[in-house]
Amino acid sequence: MTAPSSGETETEKPAIVLFRHDLRLADNRALSAAADTGKPVIPLFILDEVSPGIRPLGGARRWWLHHSLAALDKALKELGATLILRSGQTLAIVDDVLEKTGADMVLWNRRYDPPAIEVDTALKSGLTDRGIASAGFEGQLLHEPSTLKTGSGGFYKVYTPFWRALAAGDEPRAPLPTPKDIRGFEGTLASDTLSHWKLLPTKPDWAGGLRESWQPGEADAQRRLADFIDGALEDYADKRDRPDRENTSRLSPHLAHGEITPFQVWHVLSGLGDRLGDNVLKFRRELAWREFAWHLLFHNPDLASANFNRDFDAFPWRYDETALRAWQDGKTGYPIVDAGMRQLWETGWMHNRVRMVAASFLTKHLLTDWRAGEAWFWDTLVDADAANNPASWQWVAGCGADAAPYFRIFNPVLQGEKFDPHGDYVRSFVPELAQVDADAIHRPAAKKAQKSAPDVKLSAAYPVALVDHREARQRALAAYQQLRGAHEHHSDQPRKRRQT
């Protein structure tokens, strides 16, 4: 889509650029389109947590947002513009800025979660009614969920055919460069301050590990991509599942905040030729998992609150507050799970393989509703987004689209031994086990009755297992059979239309 053209007189009227999940200057089509008009530009970020359906950000995302907005404002000032901050309902704030500045154009990059789509649709309608030019651009996703359809005209519910359709499409466009300069708005316009929003934790300040682990902003996103291309990508296909190695890109929080676009990542990968063929293909498929999650959310607005497979509405979840808290605190007695949960709390991030193991443990070993885990991750992950987080939880729990079968239950001991064979990952986050030998470090849960055994050096400070793996597995399978039985019993009954 091309930005509306403007006449000579209209160039004096400013254009508003809405920033949302696109906290960057490069490959920002809305910003570039505004700069190209020659109009004064008003960059505007609205912290909207009051429009219907908008999900308030979790604590870790709020921490990241503070620093990302600070970096964006600094970068904009270097080009001649100032970021305006407002909090409240999007429509009301845009109306206020239009009235106070005389702006005659509003540009944005499209969003794809249904509540945000409703806000933007209403905004565009209102602007059109008032004769205000507007345009939306792509940038968050490689594909448009409304146009990528199955042969029958529906949406994709299985990843593999989705990937094939995505890969068979046109090559993603080349990313845009950063605008050379921006004509900033010189009028007076009130702005909130980041300190006023109180996005950072204070009492207690739990963000020390986040500060040590991350540098939010577009510049660090590009640095991480370059470091990944020059290093870990070479072994990505073989070693990406190893949490004890630095073999993942760690671009996820930068993508979640739009500090980098999938177009930029894809373009860099395309320039590598065939030298890293299998590794490039594998990484592209991981990017496509993100696309698939957003595809699902676009077509399923309640992805974070309702089972995609509604047969799971009858699943016999248990609620054990003590067990849930032990899982959250990384005190389950299973080292790979506990290391992951402590890494999450300390750094706001967890290795993807460990995320699957930890999620499986909560939903299958503890029979805890996946929504409890999704809510915890939403609050503690710096990369939590409205699509990936619930889609991944539903996948592990067995109730999602293209889900892992419910009877696939990760054995946390074997997973630890396979993917953290020397125990280095566990030792990094579970200091109670720092002195345990590699051949025993993933098995203290199984040795809980043998703490005095001379061949096992266990710390008394490390908790015993919440559950026995074999017993928990049998309990989970029995629950699944109970669900299947209930489903088969009612399979001959007339089905009522399900509300989604």
Supply the pLDDT for residue 488: 52
390 close to 297: Cβ distance less than 8 angstroms: yes
Catalytic residue among 234, 317, 411, 417: 317
Instruction: CATH number for 310-487: choose from 3.20.20.70, 1.10.579.10, 3.40.640.10, 3.10.450.50.
Output: 1.10.579.10
Which of 10, 289, 411, 417 is labelled catalytic?
289
Catalytic member of 286, 309, 411, 417: 286
Give the chain's mean pLDDT: 92
Residue 345 appears among annotated catalytic residues: no
* Predicted local distance difference test score (pLDDT) of residue 180: 94
Q: Residues 63, 378, 393, 395: which is the catalytic one?
A: 393
Q: Which CATH superfamily is domain 9-140 in?
A: HUPs (3.40.50.620)
Active-site residue (options: 63, 108, 214, 370): 370
**Looking at residue 6, what is its pLDDT?**
40
CA distance 354 to 338: 10
pLDDT in tens, 170-220: 999 999 999 999 999 999 999 999 999 999 999 999 999 999 999 999 999
Q: What is the pLDDT of residue 459?
A: 64
Backbone phi and psi for residue 205, each to the nearest 5 degrees, phi listed first: -90, 100
How much is the pLDDT for 446? 54
Determine the pLDDT at residue 97.
98
Give every CB contact of residue 127 below 8 A, 6+ residues apart in sequence.
106, 133, 134
Catalytic residue check, 393 = yes
Would you call 8 a catalytic residue per the annotation?
no
Question: What pLDDT, on a 0 to 100 scale, did the predictor assign at position 500?
Answer: 23
Catalytic residue, candidates 163, 234, 309, 352? 352
Kindly list the domain boundaries of the chain, sorted by start residue. Answer: 9-140, 141-172+216-299, 310-487
Query: Is 289 among the catalytic positions?
Result: yes
pLDDT by residue (tens digit) across 416-452? Answer: 999 999 999 999 999 999 999 999 999 876 544 444 4
135 to 18, 29, 33, 128: CA distances (angstroms): 11, 10, 9, 10
CATH, domain range 141-172+216-299: 1.25.40.80
Listed in sequence order, the DSSP H helices in 231-334 are: 236-239, 252-256, 262-270, 277-299, 321-329
What's the confidence (pLDDT) of residue 47?
A: 98
Asked whether this chain's domains 9-140 and 310-487 adopt the same fold, the reply is no
If you compute the radius of gyration of the chain from its CA atoms, what whole number of angstroms results?
24
Residue with tokens 């190209």: 36
The per-residue pLDDT for 239 is 96
Q: Using an 8 Å Cβ cutoff, are 132 and 106 in contact?
A: yes
pLDDT beneath 70: ranges in the chain? 1-11, 404, 445-459, 486-500
Measured over the CA atoms of residue 220, residue 226, residue 229 and residue 232, the dihedral's sign is negative
Q: What is the pLDDT of residue 273?
A: 79
